[in-house]
Structure 1
């Protein structure tokens, strides 16, 4: 785990709740899966953008409200990836929403959040744009 990401997790522990750190090998495999899906595509499934939000001028409370409004339950198990740092965790969506501003830093981080079921993806882009995708089976 990248030490800077580890430090953020410790800072956010009271908001995030329990989480499990992914091994570097698992984080790399998850990142490779994302690249396969989003860049190269797969014939049997694709992800369609359902929502987009420019958060540049939003207060953290407004961002949390938008994240909470997505069709994702707070107890849903998720995987969070900092693909450039080869780091990731398993947590719950509600915990990540509560701690998002401790876990994602604008202008430096691309964070991917996905359902462990693979049914949806959420991108927190370093350009301060969040995008939500749902899986469509072809």
Structure 2
């Protein structure tokens, strides 16, 4: 079993879906550390073609090289689209799942392997402006 953080396309989808005019919304101080899907696929292939484990063994979690705040993600996508960065409005994390997001529950643990191309490199290959209803090629 190999667990990975959110793919770049999902991070971009949430960042564009949370934008309303000059505003974007974030759950508390949520951060995201998106990972390149091609790198995840290579790691999966490495495990699939490598030696068989002697029993159940979960692989080391993997994540992209950089964690982003909602502010950073919104500013990066706005720059890609040639717009000014939106103002970030933080939604209080009232429900347990929202508190988990705000407290870093979707970030990888300290023992995770990080790698793959950064979000900005992936974004350079995407259409401008980024579609509001982004469809991942994956």
Determine if the TM-score, normalized by the shorter chain, exceeds 0.5: no
- More helix by percentage: 1
Q: What's the TM-score once normalised by structure 1's chain length?
A: 0.27
Which is greater in Rg? 2
Task: Considering Cα pairs closer than 8 Å and 6+ residues apart, tell me whether 1 or 2 has the greater RCO.
Answer: 2
- More strand by percentage: 1
